[in-house]
Chain A
């Protein structure tokens, strides 16, 4: 295994970690940052797969524009996912 394959493995691992964290975080702003990180690592992978035009488009649209649109939507709605109280009453999960 040469060093190029090591870089591939590291980038794929970071991308999957970012995806899992983006799904699991309850703060939606942090989730959007995780999604932008997934797009950034995917754009690095596109560049390593010899597709530089797709890498440019993914970095501009996926990491910047899509994250900005999500942040505008969060600004118009609410930031946190609603979560139940510590000891929920009988009406909470009705």
Chain B
């Protein structure tokens, strides 16, 4: 039986991909990209999860063989920061496009207008 975390993560990736492919508004496309990024992070974390083990913080009763895999968590910490930086840069590009063309519809943004 497939884990519910895998189902949720892959469904988030597919919903974000639908928004990127189908929607016309530029900000809605960026919302889809952000949702897709959250899905990828959730998929990576759920790959490293071992059922019944605790968080990878070494404390009194927790040894190294009773914790989940810490490597995907470090990877996802990096990926979250990269994702928010990418989103902020794309939003500034969207603001500049709106000031230049006066619209956010990706079908109406052409080169020689305005």
The residues of A with any CB-CB pair to B shorter than 8 Å are 5, 8-9, 12, 15-16, 19-20, 22-23, 28, 31-32, 35, 38-39, 42, 45-46, 49-54, 57-58, 61-62, 65-66, 69-70, 72-74, 76-78, 81-82
Contact = CB atoms under 8 A, between A and B. Distances in A.
Interface string B48-91: 01000111110000000001100001001100110010011001
Nearest to A74: B27
Q: Is the interface of B mostly helix, strand, loop or mixed?
A: helix
Contacts, number: 132
Interface residues on B, range: 35 or more
Q: Is the interface of A mostly helix, strand, loop or mixed?
A: helix
A53 B8 contact: no
Contacts of A58: 38, 41, 80
B87 A66 contact: yes
Interface string B29-43: 011101100100110
B94 to A, nearest CB: 6
A39 to B, nearest CB: 6
B38 A32 contact: no
